[in-house]
Every structure is written in C-alpha cells, then in structure tokens.
Amino acid sequence: MDVQGAELGILKNGSKTLKNCLAMQLEVSYFLLYENQPSFGEIDVYMRTIGFVPHLFLDVKRWSITPTIINNNFRVPGNQLLESDIVYVKDPLKLFELNDIQLKKLAILAHYSFNSFDYCTFLILEMERRNMLSAGSHKKYLEKLSEFK
C-alpha cells in the first residue's frame, strides 16, 4: 500500500478485511512529507495492536540532508531515512491463531513472494507439529533450497 500518507486511515477503516489478511506490504515514512501523515512509529504501533509484526524491509529510501550534494548529484542518497517498503506478517509467536489453510498460504507467501526461506522453514516446522506434513519436511525443504543456490 502506497497512498501518500493515508495508510493508517485505510488500515483503520479496513479492520474487517484485515482480519483475514496474513501479510501486507506498506510504505512507511520516517520523515513526514504530507499533512497529517502518520509516521512509521504510529503505523507500527497500530499494526502490532491488530496482530502483525514487521518481517522485512523490501526497500529503504534514503536522502541527503540539505545542503549536502554528493558527487554533484542531488539524487545520490545520504543516510537520512526517508521511507521504506515493509512487509508485516501475522505474529509468528501466535501461530496457534492461524488455521491450517492460513498456515499453508502464509508459507507460500513467505517462499514465493518474500523469498523469506527462514520464515517458510519456521512455518513448515509448525505444519510438522500439526501433522500436516511428515516429520523432517523442513530438512527436505532446506536441502532443495541449497540445490538452487
């Protein structure tokens, strides 16, 4: 979701839809550019209250603080954080709240959408614990991963 500072309002107004959501990608800001724009902290606190935690940053946009221009190019970033694309997932410490189908869907998202093989392995271990997969499935998964690297 990238809606120029309206993310928190949309999240709050979509609470019914978010109950069925397993993961989401949001743009969050550290340096506010729009009127009434929520900060990363405000969005993060809200996401945690509805059962999501940060999983990974897909992109971090940095900017140079004025008047610094690096290599005569104002587009070369400095270290000032501006915004990020972040993926939030249902809290992995509360997998008991997910049914078996949700768990499978989240594993597919982790593997194919996020390239988050550690998280996928964690979810496969939960599927083993629930007897959805045979014991040792996570080891086979990791072996297959190493074949492709």
- Does the CA dihedral 133-126-49-34 come out positive or negative? negative
pLDDT at 6 over 70: yes
pLDDT at 1 over 80: no
Same domain assignment for residues 82 and 13: yes
pTM for the predicted model, two decimal places: 0.86
pLDDT at 149 over 70: no
pLDDT of residue 10: 81
The residue range of the domain holding 83 is 1-90
Same domain assignment for residues 81 and 99: no
* Last-in-domain residue among 90, 105, 129: 90
Confidence of residue 32 (pLDDT cuts 50, 70, 90): confident
User: How confident is the prediction for the chain on average, in pLDDT?
Assistant: 90
Q: How far apart are CA 98 and CA 57, in angstroms?
A: 24
Same domain assignment for residues 77 and 47: yes
Same domain assignment for residues 31 and 83: yes
Same domain assignment for residues 24 and 79: yes
What are the CA-CA distances from residue 18 to residues 27, 52, 143 (Å)?
A: 17, 10, 35
pLDDT at 49 over 90: yes
Token pair recorded at residue 87: 């993926």
Query: In total, how many domains does the chain have?
Result: 2
Nearest residue to 26 via CA among 53, 62, 64, 66: 53
Is the bond leading into 67 cis (omega within 30 degrees of zero)? yes
E strands along the chain, which residues?
23-29, 52-63, 80-90
